[in-house]
Structure 1
């Protein structure tokens, strides 16, 4: 089946309970946000048409998940650990390597690297 329409971008939204604390945690590894469209919201451009958005305006905060693709997972994990950011062990899923970070609201951010098919 073919898609009914073309898509052009993706925004993954993670709800957080404390904007200041979350902003500090995410900025420690993503740098300052690329956009702050309104109070309680911050956005990082992850790739050309992909964004990660923090939203502290939701009435209820339930943990979500986002997957961010990287080229060298081991190097990314090392940099995070050196910056004092807790990150899980690298898991090998045969077609992809991944490791997980969790923010203070329980949101899971998985970093993933596709394993070359040689």
Structure 2
């Protein structure tokens, strides 16, 4: 039953072709994935095991959040680090920024359980 459900779910992509299907299922650019892995490895060690786990982590996050949502969350985090009036707007925690960051944190927590647990 699960396999047939999966097949039906992928049916709309069948007409796209292999390249379009890959793009639809993987909308994170390689550069974004590499940047995440480098940052993750800086925190978790520069080992082959850390590389494997960090790569798993960004793959898990990409399976949960669209790239657009990931970029929005990363932007909020970077803006919070700055100074001045603009950064204060992001540090204040509007409902929109709280939702964006909450989505990222949930994706990161799930990725940690899958890849580091």
**Shorter-chain-normalised TM-score: which range?**
under 0.3
Task: Tell me the TM-score normalised to structure 1 length.
Answer: 0.25
Which structure's residues are more often helix, by fraction?
2
Task: Tell me the TM-score normalised to structure 2 length.
Answer: 0.25
Which structure's residues are more often strand, by fraction?
1
Larger Rg: 2
